[in-house]
């Protein structure tokens, strides 16, 4: 990727109306994915036309503008980020902010399908930590949940990531009647390989074929079950994301809980999200958004872009409105998780 260095505007730190400093940016580089997880996507998805998607150079410029305004942690997401053509050119370019000290961390959330190919390059580009989504260790169930996924490829990706020196955290969505009996096995697997595990409640985003009222498994229930076999102690550990962590005495490993429904995580939210079209969502659980593509393309100077960001941060809400709609069985929001990158 040919690096474009735009004329920089004078920047100010981002502080929302509730006094929270915005230091964490999650950027979806594509809405496309090589899986079709049943809680995330419909099987027959319609993806964005390529002309609507920001170029890699535009994504670089957008990320750099946020870094200049105080973002210290940057996470690339999707869809599946590693299916984006030439994605490593963007990762390598963003790595310059790690080298300069402006960025503390450049991370990635992935389904692991392409890790065997890219793990070494990610490490060389300055990535030190990644999240890999694995909801089951049973190959047949994995195929059923992801529709298209191959667990063996993901396991090969984990091997490659750890060989490259990447610190791996496993993310698992807790699904009632699907993988709830496997949580113990996932915990043993992750901690046995020196990986943290984070459990996530299903989020009511986007229309899917299934019924989320049947999928929803409160993590309060999961924790109570785990405490019948494991000793869990709350710890103050934070990665910049919404997870609350415990230490598991028997393994010495960490277990995280992301609970948007049973216990929202809004009071300390320091995050905003950008889609691959340049739409800024100030809250994952709200529809309010700002188009950054227009000011990005309107001028080589970042003044318009910076002003649009400031205006949007001034509208960041106190919290989200996630709810499982048991009466009408509709998602809380129409957009799919693959659009905003989770």
Please give the annotated binding residues for [4Fe-4S] cluster, written as ranges: 33, 37, 40, 266, 269, 283
> Which residues belong to the annotated binding site for GTP?
26, 75, 109, 169, 271-273
Cα dihedral 88→89→93→94 (10° resolution): -40
Rounded-to-integer distance, Cα 289 and Cα 328, Å: 25
Tokens linked to 134: 């694995």
Q: Where are the beta strands (DSSP E) in the chain?
A: 24-28, 73-77, 105-110, 129-133, 167-174, 196-201, 232-235, 244-248, 254-258, 271-274, 279-281, 289-291
* Bind-site residues: 26, 33, 37, 39-40, 75, 79, 109, 133, 169, 203, 266, 269, 271-273, 283
Please report, for residues 67, 105, 138, 226, 261, the alpha-carbon distance to residue 180 in angstroms, rounded to integers and kept in the order given: 39, 32, 13, 11, 17
Q: β-strand 244-248 against 254-258: which pairing, if any?
A: antiparallel
What residue numbers does the annotated binding site for S-adenosyl-L-methionine cover?
39, 79, 133, 203
């Amino acid at each position: 990727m040919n690096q474009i260095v735009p004329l920089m505007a004078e920047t100010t730190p981002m502080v929302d109306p509730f006094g929270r400093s915005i230091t964490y940016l999650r950027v979806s580089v594509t809405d496309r994915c090589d899986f079709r997880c049943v809680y995330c996507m419909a099987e027959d998805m319609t993806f964005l036309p390529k002309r609507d998607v920001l170029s890699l150079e535009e994504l670089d410029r957008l990320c750099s503008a946020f870094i200049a305004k105080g973002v210290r942690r940057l996470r690339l997401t999707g869809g599946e980020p590693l299916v984006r053509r030439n994605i490593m050119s963007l990762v390598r370019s963003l790595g310059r902010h790690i080298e300069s000290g402006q960025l503390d961390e450049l991370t990635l959330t992935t389904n692991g399908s392409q890790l065997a190919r890219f793990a070494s390059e990610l490490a060389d580009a300055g990535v030190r930590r990644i999240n890999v989504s694995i909801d089951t260790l049973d190959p047949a169930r994995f195929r059923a949940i992801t529709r298209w996924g191959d667990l063996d490829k993901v396991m090969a990706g984990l091997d490659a990531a750890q060989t490259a020196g990447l610190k791996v955290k496993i993310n698992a969505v807790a699904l009632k009647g699907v993988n709830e009996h496997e949580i113990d096995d996932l915990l043993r697997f992750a901690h046995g390989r020196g990986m943290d595990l984070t459990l996530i409640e299903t989020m009511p985003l986007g229309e899917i074929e299934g019924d989320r009222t049947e999928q929803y498994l409160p993590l309060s229930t999961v924790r109570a079950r785990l405490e019948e076999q494991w000793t869990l102690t709350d710890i103050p550990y934070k990665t910049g994301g919404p997870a609350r962590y415990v230490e598991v005495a028997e393994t010495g490993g960490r277990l995280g809980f992301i609970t948007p429904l049973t216990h929202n995580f809004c009071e300390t939210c320091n995050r905003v999200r950008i889609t691959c079209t340049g739409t800024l969502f100030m809250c994952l659980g709200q529809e309010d958004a700002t188009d950054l593509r227009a000011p990005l393309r309107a001028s080589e100077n970042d003044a318009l872009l910076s002003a649009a960001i400031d205006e949007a941060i001034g509208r960041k809400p106190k919290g989200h409105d996630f709810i499982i709609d048991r009466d009408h069985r509709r998602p809380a929001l129409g957009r799919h998780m693959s659009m905003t990158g989770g």
